Amino acid sequence: MTYRETNLVASIERLSGAPLVALAQPQRDHVDQFHAGGAEAVDRLLPGLGLTPAMTVLDVGSGLGGPARQVARSAGCRVVGVDITPAYVEAARALTDAAGLSERVGFECTDLAALDATEFDAAYTVHVQMNVADKTRFFGEIARRLRPGARFAVFEVCRNGAAEPVLPLPWSLDGTDSHLVAAEELRATIESCGFELLDWADESAWIRQWFEQTPARVAAAATRALLPALLQDGPRRMTNFAAALFGGVVSVHRGCFTRTRAVRPIA
Ligand SMILES: C[S@@+](CC[C@H](N)C(=O)[O-])C[C@H]1O[C@@H](n2cnc3c(N)ncnc32)[C@H](O)[C@@H]1O
């Protein structure tokens, strides 16, 4: 399993030289967004979700909770994050407490299939389905938890051909939990699970720019508390991801869908 880090809060505090509560928002953004594009990627997802403060939103594979807190801050809504990695959920809760958002942002350590709550007003998932072999089941489980008409957004890594990206990668250390599919296959799978397509965009060029700007971003951050420093073999994983993108081996796609009325039962 790839997500093996523990004691993340202690690591963040050691790297930043300050307690979590003393970190300003821009400092948290450098450490809690576990995907290419950082907080800007979440900004690009938000318009498609059409959120209002009255809504409750599901974040599938919420990681350290950076996207969930950003969505709650931006839209004024409530967010429920689910993730299967206990240490990430623990860190997400601590970071949310430190940000003063615990009343509106909560996290459950569970597989989505075991989540009781349904009737969410919207959902999104960011850099998660690469870990999921049975994507029909995964997106079907999401559809079942949304009210009809709810929006669903994805920001995901896809393969471009037969070539495999070099390991380790941010989502997989040894390849056993990497299940990349082509963008068209991903989009068609989501549509087959009870979603109607609203928008589908290849974000690879923008993500390549984001990687190119990484040195300047790191210098401006003036902190050692950066996501790659938290992760096992983090810098190599990020470098391999960037190389796969620049080499055209993988792409990054953003999609937005509406949950239709017909959702097929999970087998
Ligand atoms: C690359 S991280 C992305 C985290 C977060 N979405 C973000 O962008 O900051 C992938 C996350 O997906 C979670 N994950 C993987 N498979 C999952 C599953 N079947 N259900 C819930 N979470 C899952 C992992 O524990 C990890 O936190």
Mean pLDDT of the chain: 95
For tokens 């948290």, the residue is 28
pLDDT digits (tens, 9 = 90+) for 45-68: 999 999 999 999 999 999 999 999
Give domain status of residue 39, yes or no: yes
pLDDT of res. 1 = 83
Give domain status of residue 111, yes or no: yes
pLDDT of res. 266 = 65
Domain count, the chain: 1
Query: Atom 16, ligand 1: which residue's CA is nearest?
Result: 131
Ligand 1 centroid to Cα of residue 89, in Å, is: 10
pLDDT of res. 93 = 98
62-65-70 Cα angle (round to 5): 115
Give domain status of residue 194, yes or no: yes
Q: Beta strands 195-202 and 250-259: pairing type?
A: antiparallel
Query: Atom 27, ligand 1: which residue's CA is nearest?
Result: 63
Tell me if 63 sits within 8 A of 124, measured CB to CB: no
Q: What is the CATH number of the domain that holds 242?
A: 3.40.50.150
CA of residue 30 relative to chain centroid, distance: 14
Q: Mutate which of 82, 131, 155 to test ligand 1's pocket (most atoms within 8 Å of Cβ)?
A: 131
Q: Which domain holds residue 75?
A: 8-259
pLDDT of res. 267 = 64
Give domain status of residue 264, yes or no: no
Dig out the tokens for 183 from the structure: 């963008």
Which residues are CB-contacts of 258 (< 8 A; sequence separation ≥ 6)?
A: 149, 150, 151, 152, 195, 196, 198
pLDDT of res. 179 = 98
The CA–CA distances, whole Å, from 84 to 24, 65, 87, 141 equal 28, 13, 9, 15
Q: Is the pLDDT of residue 265 over 70?
A: no
Alpha helices in 76-123 (DSSP H): 86-98
Give domain status of residue 164, yes or no: yes
Q: For residues 164-187, give the mean pLDDT.
A: 98
Query: Atom 26, ligand 1: which residue's CA is nearest?
Result: 63
Tell me if 242 sits within 8 A of 209, measured CB to CB: no
For tokens 């509406």, the residue is 258
Q: What is the CB < 6 Å shell around ligand 1?
A: 3, 33-35, 61-63, 66-67, 82-85, 88, 111-112, 126-128, 131-132, 170-171
For tokens 């995964």, the residue is 138
Give domain status of residue 31, yes or no: yes
CA of residue 212 relative to chain centroid, distance: 21
Residue 148 exposure: Cα atoms within 13 Å on the Cβ side: 5
Greatest Cα pair distance in the chain: 52
CA of residue 244 relative to chain centroid, distance: 19
Confidence of residue 261 (pLDDT cuts 50, 70, 90): confident
Confidence of residue 221 (pLDDT cuts 50, 70, 90): confident
Which of 18-27, 122-131, 176-185, 249-258 has the lowest average pLDDT? 18-27
Give domain status of residue 265, yes or no: no
pLDDT digits (tens, 9 = 90+) for 205-217: 999 999 999 999 9
Q: Is the pLDDT of residue 264 over 80?
A: no
The CA–CA distances, whole Å, from 76 to 33, 53, 104 equal 19, 4, 9
Give domain status of residue 118, yes or no: yes
